[in-house]
Amino acid sequence: MKAELSAHLELMDHEISGLDFQIEHQAYRVDGDAGIKTVVKLNNRKSIDYFYIKNDKCLFIEFTDLARNKEDLLGVEDSISDIGNKFHQNKLSKLIKNDHRDEMVAKFISSKDIVLKIPDYYKNIPHPFLKKDAKTFYIIHVPVNENLPEVDKVEIIRYLSGLRARISACLEDEICDRVKLIFLEKFIRELE
C-alpha cells in the first residue's frame, strides 16, 4: 500500500546553530530517518534537506553553513608549514581545498533520483513532483560574520560565488535549470 506524501510535510528546519528563528513555511522532508529517501529505499545516498513547492515548481532546498566553514579556515593555510607531522599537513591541506562542489552535486543528483521514485511509493502526490522539468537548487547559507575584517568577508563571498559557479557548471542542463546559493534571510524573503 502506498503512503501519503503529506506525512513528510513539516516546517522547514535550517538546523544551523546560533540562529534561533524558525522558518514559517512547510516543505517535504527528504533526509533523515523520517525522510522521503528512507521510504523510497535510497537512504544510503546523500540528499538535500527538503522539497518545497512554489509556483507549481518543486524546488530542491539544502541548508548549509558553508560561510562559517570557510570562516573557520581563514588564515590557516599560512600556518600549515608550521605543523611538523606531514600526515596532518596533508589532511589540513585537503580540508582547506575542499570546496563542497562534489558533495552538493551528489546531493542534487540523488535527490533527483528520489523525486523520480516518489510515484512508486506514494499516493496523493502534488503535481510539481510529477513534472519532468528541470529543478531549481537552492543552497541556503548563513550570513557572513559582520565582525570579520572586510578582506575576509570579501574572500568568503568570492568563495561562495565561485562555488555556485562550479556547482552550476556541473548541473545546469536538462536536470537543473538554476543553482541559487543565497543567504538564509534572502531565501525567507523569497518565500513570501
Report the C-alpha gap between 21 and 186 in whole angstroms. Answer: 14
Domain count, the chain: 1
Residue-level pLDDT at 49: 96
- pLDDT (tens, 9 = 90+) of the chain, 192 residues, equals 899 999 999 999 887 767 677 788 999 999 998 899 999 999 999 999 999 999 999 999 999 877 655 555 555 444 545 555 565 555 555 554 555 788 889 999 999 999 999 999 999 999 999 988 878 999 998 877 788 788 777 877 888 888 888 888 888 776 788 888 888 888 988 887
Residue-level pLDDT at 181: 86
Q: What domain range is 161 assigned to?
A: 3-191
Residues 155 and 106: beta-carbon distance below 8 Å? no
Comparing CA positions, the residue from 128, 148, 136, 150 lying closest to residue 182 is 136
The DSSP secondary structure of 100-140, one letter per residue, reads SHHHHHHHHHHHHHHHHHHHHHEES--HHHH--SPEEEEEE
Residue-level pLDDT at 98: 52
> What does the mean pLDDT of the chain come to?
82
Range list of H helices, the chain: 36-39, 66-73, 86-97, 101-121, 127-130, 150-171, 184-191
- Using one digit for the tens of pLDDT, what is the confidence trace for 93-130? 555 455 578 888 999 999 999 999 999 999 999 999 99
